[in-house]
């Protein structure tokens, strides 16, 4: 995570001492819209799940969800939220501290992977590694749902810009992918105006 210094875990640990700016009290609306239009299959993996709002939203819809993040306090907060849910929803959720760069280490095959703000914190090499590993974690016909910044900020400790051209270059039929949709979107924040974003639904062939 080059834009987040040599020790990104320390940076995100610091951010999660308070409510992060991207925690808007629920899933990002653009991600919800994408999932409504292209219904996900179980089980679902939420990479970089943070404090769990997207995973909890999906569980309330009846989906089985695993949420992973490398920030202990984020996972602890997500587990606190699970404790306040009805048992039939809580039992659908599994939050754990894990490396979202390597989802295959979970040794599960997922029907869907949701990424609301993870890919855009990775540099080019990390993005390539993540996508290779993502292919191992998704079963054939499984879908990857992405929401990422489509804006570049000239300051440190901010996500990078993800473009349609990048997605088309990375997720090719030759590499076993079929792009179902790429769209313009917005990424909401508690502390700033909405940021231009890109949404995508990409299927593993």
Q: Do 69 and 100 meet the contact criterion of CB atoms below 8 Å apart? A: yes
Map tokens 């088309």 to a residue. 168
Q: Report the C-alpha gap between 64 and 17 in whole angstroms.
A: 28
Mean pLDDT, all residues of the chain? 93
Question: Which pLDDT value is given to residue 3?
Answer: 65
pLDDT exceeds cutoff 80 at 168: yes
DSSP 161: P
Confidence at residue 155, expressed as pLDDT on a 0 to 100 scale: 76
pLDDT at 1 over 50: no
Instruction: Say whether pLDDT at 2 is over 60.
Output: no
Q: Write out pLDDT tens, residues 24-71.
A: 889 999 999 999 999 999 999 999 999 999 999 999 999 999 999 999
**Annotated domain spans of the chain:** 23-204
pLDDT at 189 over 50: yes
Please tell me the total number of residues recorded for the chain in this structure.
205
Sign of dihedral through CA atoms 155, 191, 150, 99? positive
**% of the chain beyond a pLDDT of 70:** 98
Q: Which residues make beta-bridge pairs with 187?
A: 195
Tell me if the bond preceding 188 is cis, omega within 30° of 0. Answer: no
For domain 23-204, give the CATH number.
Answer: 3.40.50.150
């Amino acid at each position: 995570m080059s834009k987040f210094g040599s020790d990104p875990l320390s940076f995100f640990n610091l951010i999660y001492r308070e409510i992060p700016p991207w925690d808007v009290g629920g899933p990002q609306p653009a991600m919800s819209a994408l999932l409504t239009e292209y219904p996900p299959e179980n089980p679902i993996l939420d990479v970089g799940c943070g404090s769990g709002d997207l995973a909890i939203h999906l569980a309330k819809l009846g989906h089985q969800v695993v949420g992973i993040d490398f920030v202990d306090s984020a996972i602890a907060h997500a587990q606190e939220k699970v404790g306040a849910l009805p048992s039939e929803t809580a039992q659908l959720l599994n939050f754990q501290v894990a490396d979202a760069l390597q989802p295959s280490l979970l040794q599960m095959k997922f029907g869907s992977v949701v990424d609301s703000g993870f890919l855009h914190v990775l540099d080019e090499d990390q993005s390539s590694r993540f996508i290779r590993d993502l292919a191992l974690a998704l079963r054939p016909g499984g879908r990857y749902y992405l929401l990422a910044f489509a804006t570049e900020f000239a300051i440190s400790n901010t996500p990078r810009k993800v473009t349609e051209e990048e997605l088309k270059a990375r997720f090719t039929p030759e590499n076993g992918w079929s792009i179902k949709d790429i769209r313009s979107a917005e990424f909401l924040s508690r502390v700033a105006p909405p940021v231009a974003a890109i949404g995508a639904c990409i299927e593993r062939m």
